[in-house]
Amino acid sequence: MSVSNPFDSSGGNLTGLVPTIGAVTPNDSADLPKTAVGIKCKGTAGNVAFVSAGGDTITYPIAADEILVCGISRVLSTGTTATTLWAFYA
């Protein structure tokens, strides 16, 4: 299933507020409901493994209360050790 990507028509200029957020359950086979523009760790720091909007698989260390600003289409359970993740949707 292909997810919608808010970056497709942005021209690289993203402005404005994030209208909604959602709790993330890492899953190796299911995309987020739509491409997130960022992820926040509200729990324990660790790694967040994800598939970027560009299709790259990335593992990134994230601190508690840190926001990672990046187009994210899927958060992987394999490799994700950070807890209580929230996605920001544009």
pLDDT tens profile 22-39: 999 999 999 999 999 999
In angstroms, the CA 35 to CA 1 distance is 12
Taking Cα atoms as reference points, which of 10, 79, 8, 85 lies closest to residue 41?
Answer: 85
Cα–Cα nearest to 27, from 53, 50, 6: 50
Rounded percentage of the chain residues whose pLDDT exceeds 70: 82
> pLDDT at position 16, please?
64
Q: What dihedral angle (degrees, nearest 10) is formed by the CA atoms of 11, 17, 22, 25?
A: 40
Residue (of 39, 27, 34, 48) closest to 5 by Cα position: 34
Query: What whole-number percentage of the chain has pLDDT above 90?
Result: 77
Least confident of 12-21, 30-39, 61-70: 12-21
Mean pLDDT of all residues belonging to the chain: 90
